[in-house]
């Protein structure tokens, strides 16, 4: 992976950069739509490419391992060919499922035992096995297996969790270095910095992660129940230590304001299900604030969904029509909202990049955070 910083923003740690994979170049800061099982819910790849202009998407190792399964993905030639997506892909390792599926998993030194949410069958995810799975999936960027502790975890739990994550990283890195991709292109492997909300644990983890010299590094275990200011503090602690010349990926974050604050603190890559999940439930993010499309106030508002917005749906459909679709439980409502929200998130990071290059990111960000957090 080639990474280059093109510009930095005065009085902040924000930077405009790019990294290149064998499936294309990604300009940062970047938001990555989540395609858990090989699809971004409710959105065609044509729209992701041509309207939303997603440069890279995510898949989830745990879910893809269970369905469609590794045999099918290997026979297809990897996830890119299976889903018809020619641009870069990143795969989570299943580490977040250690957190989100806590009722269906058991942690051991060897790895994480999962009880399938589909049929109840049991599966062991080891650091080595996850590398093998991600090799078969064929993502351009593979994540290390980690434990993601709750944001409210006490220090003793966070200490033990971090130690386990680092031992798993040692094993996963070894397997990564002794294996190669299965489809003729290069795959990167990103370690993940954990440590909950404890600055000394985060600092220790960041130093140890930096020693691997990986193509990029991730910050995990945030936006999982801790106060938002604690999240921002941990980003600052970690980014003071992680290498400047490698991309930094903040996992599973977040709101438009979270994204802007993360960019301000030196984050390059982000992902979150919020644009599509909240969109399917009637929440629309815009440049002027947040709309709940089920509210009665939109019933007779025939103005465009977001006049001059970043997506074709913003001019084609009125607020009144989109509200009508939601209260009528029409599938089109969820599709329109998902397309709009993803287009808005991608517009937001492109604008952030433009203002970093132009040198006025700090003032632009301050006004934009105020705008995007407003309830309309």
The β-bridge relationship of strands 24-28 and 248-250 is: unpaired
Residue 232 · residue 261 · CB < 8 Å: yes
Examine the residue annotation and report whether 92 is marked as an active-site residue of this protein.
Answer: yes
Dist CA 88 CA 197 (whole Å): 31
Dist CA 316 CA 51 (whole Å): 13
Quickly count: other Cβ atoms within 10 Å of residue 155's Cβ.
Answer: 12
Q: Which of 92, 140, 264, 306 is catalytic?
A: 92
Examine the residue annotation and report whether 170 is marked as an active-site residue of this protein.
Answer: no
Q: Which of 268, 271, 306, 314 is catalytic?
A: 271
Quickly count: other Cβ atoms within 10 Å of residue 323's Cβ.
Answer: 24
Sign, Cα dihedral of 75, 81, 83, 88: positive
Secondary structure (3-state) at 35: coil
Q: DSSP states of 132-184 as a string?
A: HHHHHHT-SEEEPP-----TT--HHHHHHHHHHHHHHHHHHHHHHHT---SSS
Catalytic positions: 92, 271
């Amino acid at each position: 992976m080639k990474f280059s910083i093109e510009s930095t923003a005065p009085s902040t740690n924000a930077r405009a950069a790019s990294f290149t994979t064998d499936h294309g170049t990604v300009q940062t800061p970047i938001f990555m739509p989540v395609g858990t099982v090989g699809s971004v819910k409710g959105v065609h790849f044509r729209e992701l490419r041509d309207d939303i202009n997603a440069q890279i998407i995510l898949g989830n190792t745990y879910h893809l391992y269970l369905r469609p399964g590794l045999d099918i993905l290997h026979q297809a030639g990897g996830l890119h060919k299976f889903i018809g997506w020619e641009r870069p892909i990143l795969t989570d390792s299943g580490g977040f499922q250690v957190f989100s599926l806590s009722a269906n998993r058991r942690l051991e030194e060897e790895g994480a035992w999962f009880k399938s949410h589909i049929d109840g069958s049991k599966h062991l995810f080891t650091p080595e096995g996850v590398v093998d799975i991600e090799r078969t999936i064929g993502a351009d960027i593979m994540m290390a297996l980690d434990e993601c502790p709750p944001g409210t975890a006490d220090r003793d739990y966070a200490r033990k969790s971090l130690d386990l994550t680092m031992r798993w990283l040692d094993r996963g890195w070894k397997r990564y270095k002794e294996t190669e991709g299965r489809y003729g292109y290069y795959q990167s492997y990103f370690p993940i910095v954990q440590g909950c909300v404890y600055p000394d644990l985060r600092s220790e983890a960041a130093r140890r992660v930096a020693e691997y010299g990986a193509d990029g590094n991730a910050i995990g275990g945030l936006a999982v129940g801790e106060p938002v200011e604690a999240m921002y503090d941990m980003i600052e602690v970690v980014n003071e230590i992680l290498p400047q010349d490698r991309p930094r990926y903040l996992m599973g974050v977040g709101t438009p304001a979270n994204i802007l604050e993360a960019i301000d603190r030196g984050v390059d890559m982000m992902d979150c299900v919020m644009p599509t999940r909240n969109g399917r439930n009637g929440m629309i993010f815009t440049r002027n604030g947040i709309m709940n499309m089920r509210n009665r106030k939109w019933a007779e508002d025939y103005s465009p969904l977001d006049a001059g917005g970043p997506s074709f749906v913003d001019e084609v459909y009125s607020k009144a029509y989109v509200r009508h679709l939601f209260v009528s439980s029409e599938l089109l409502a969820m599709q329109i909202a998902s397309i709009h929200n993803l287009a808005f998130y991608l517009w937001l990071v492109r604008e952030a990049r433009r203002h970093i290059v132009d040198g006025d990111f700090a003032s632009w960000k301050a006004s934009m955070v105020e705008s995007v957090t407003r309830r309309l």
